[in-house]
Amino acid sequence: MTTLKEKIANEMISDYSNALERNFELAKRFIRVTNDGKVEIIYKESFSGEELIQLYCIGKQYAFEAGLSKSKGVDNNELKDELGKSIGSILPWLKTLRDKRKIVQDNSKSLSEHFISTNLIEPTLNALNKKYNKTS
């Protein structure tokens, strides 16, 4: 007879530790990472500013995992430079994403960084993939 503890362990525990590996094929459909840890987003024109930030944050997770970036997070200037958007656009998008709990801000470093929680990688990629498939 299976105990409740065993049932929970076997059927209810979520393992987000392999979220990057599990979503690799889907992520590489939209994201590339450079040798210096920056992120290139494919099909930029298909996504809103907030979605571009989410994809960039996901890409930073992959860059960090590959040892190409020293951080999983991205600061405002990197987003501005790499997405080619003004800081006046970036800041409201970041606030909206934080308010919706789609990204997290880390103020512990000299420059504030933003990152996406590991448990949001899969649902975010799935939602963006669904949107992209409708528009393409």
113 within domain boundaries: yes
Q: Which long-range contacts (CB under 8 A, 24 or more apart) does 17-25 make?
A: 17/118, 19/118, 19/119, 19/121, 19/122, 20/61, 20/62, 20/65, 20/118, 20/121, 22/122, 23/121, 23/122, 23/125
15 has pLDDT over 80: no
60 within domain boundaries: yes
98 within domain boundaries: yes
8 within domain boundaries: no
Q: How high is the pLDDT of residue 11? A: 72
9 has pLDDT over 60: yes
35 has pLDDT over 60: yes
Domain span at residue 78? Answer: 16-135
CATH number at residue 105: 1.10.10.10
55 has pLDDT over 90: yes
Average pLDDT over residues 50-69: 96
Count of structural domains within the chain:
1
pLDDT band at 17 (very low <50, low <70, confident <90, very high): low
Q: How high is the pLDDT of residue 117? A: 92
